[in-house]
Homo-oligomer: A and B are copies of this chain.
Amino acid sequence: MATKNLLEAVRETLHDAMASDERVFIMGEDVGARGNVFLITAGFQEEFGRERIIDTPLAEASIIGVAIGAAMAGLRPIAEIQFADFIYPAFNQIVGEAAKTRYRSAGGNTCPLVIRTPYGGGVRGALSHSVSIEALFYHVPGLKVLAPSTPADAKGLLTSAIADEDPVLFLEHKRTYRLIKGEVPEGRHTVPIGKADIARAGKDLSVITYGLMRHFAVEAAEKVAAEGIDAEVVDLRSIRPMDRETIIKSATKTRRVLIVHEDNKFGGVGAEISAAIAEEALFELDAPIKRLCGPDVPAMGYAKEYEEAFMPSPERIADAMRELARF
């Protein structure tokens, strides 16, 4: 297995999908000549042609809407939203249309569509190139929402998403693109949608998280391990469907739960994680369920001070672990 960063894993997966299935095509802003703003699809247009690597107009609702139509007609579009912040204009197409296509037609039309978009902060992207969007979509029946954090999972889940018969929102944390490296299986590699990953096994407390925060949580766990706190880190990978079973198992085992995400706390994905535990394992706990999340402000700002104030860090996670372990 070769070591790759997350961006390379995404790139390789897209490339393999394009090469192996001619129903697959890619559309989005600047995905063609420019090869995507992060250079993920650099060279694709030369290789696969302008018909299959489509530089779309600057219009997100139509990026998704046209992709939905193509999917209904039997193709396998992979639509890109350049930054997650720009997905809002396509909200109607994703939530009102893609998610309901199968249901509203009782299976008569379907929508096998992958929407890829980079999200999250830590790259000085200011208010409008930093947001987390998972909580705006994970509530929507008919959609799947994935947020891989390792190169191998990015490959495995993206491969599964492209093969999926339903619309999948595929979230790539932009800070992980070049920061996170790891071994990536060669050839076709799938990871089942809806299965969490135990990033680190432990017995004293469980951190439930996903995305970039998985790595910060593992880092924090190593820190506190030296102090005798043995933390388990559960990486959801798939936000909808959510792996309740693994969550409950981990919570029941360690009896202390810390939920970590970068997205704002109030009404974030952490709320559902907590509620699931409170429903099924309330009496198995030795401490209240804690959430360490982004603060309830619109987004991180441009100045680095804002970014630092906003993002949960390994230090803050370690502190929260210590507090929880002491409870």
The reply to whether the CB of A192 lies closer than 8 angstroms to some CB of chain B is: no
Q: Which of A58-102 contact B (CB under 8 A)?
A: 61, 85, 88-89, 91-92, 95-96, 99-100
The reply to whether the CB of A127 lies closer than 8 angstroms to some CB of chain B is: yes
Instruction: Let me know if B298 and A288 touch, CB within 8 A.
Output: no
The reply to whether the CB of A296 lies closer than 8 angstroms to some CB of chain B is: yes
Instruction: Let me know if B298 and A103 touch, CB within 8 A.
Output: yes
Residue of B nearest to A297 (CB): B141
Instruction: Let me know if A285 and B288 touch, CB within 8 A.
Output: no
Q: Which of A109-123 contact B (CB under 8 A)?
A: none
**Which listed residue, B99, B272, B288, touches A279 by the CB 8 Å rule?**
B288
Q: Which residues does chain B contribute within 8 Å of A280, judged by CB atoms? A: 288
Q: Give the contact-size bracket for chain A.
A: 35 or more
The reply to whether the CB of A291 lies closer than 8 angstroms to some CB of chain B is: yes
| Cα separation A288 to B275 with both chains bound (whole Å) | 10
- Render A113-140 as a binary contact track against B, CB cut-off 8 A, 1 for contact: 0000000000000011000000110111
The reply to whether the CB of A209 lies closer than 8 angstroms to some CB of chain B is: no
**Which listed residue, B88, B266, B285, touches A96 by the CB 8 Å rule?**
B88
| Cα separation A142 to B142 with both chains bound (whole Å) | 28
Q: Which residues does chain B contribute within 8 Å of A142, judged by CB atoms? A: 298
Instruction: Let me know if B282 and A272 touch, CB within 8 A.
Output: no
Instruction: Let me know if A127 and B104 touch, CB within 8 A.
Output: yes
Extra 13 A-B pairs, beta carbons < 8 Å, given A89-B91, A100-B299, A278-B282: A85-B96, A88-B92, A89-B92, A91-B92, A99-B298, A135-B139, A135-B267, A138-B266, A267-B271, A277-B278, A278-B289, A280-B288, A282-B287
Which of A's residues lie within 8 Å of B, judged by CB? 61, 85, 88-89, 91-92, 95-96, 99-100, 103-104, 127-128, 135-136, 138-142, 240, 242, 264, 266-272, 274-275, 277-280, 282-283, 285, 287-291, 296-299
Query: Mind listing 5 A-B residue pairs with CB under 8 Å?
Result: A141-B266, A271-B272, A272-B275, A279-B291, A282-B282
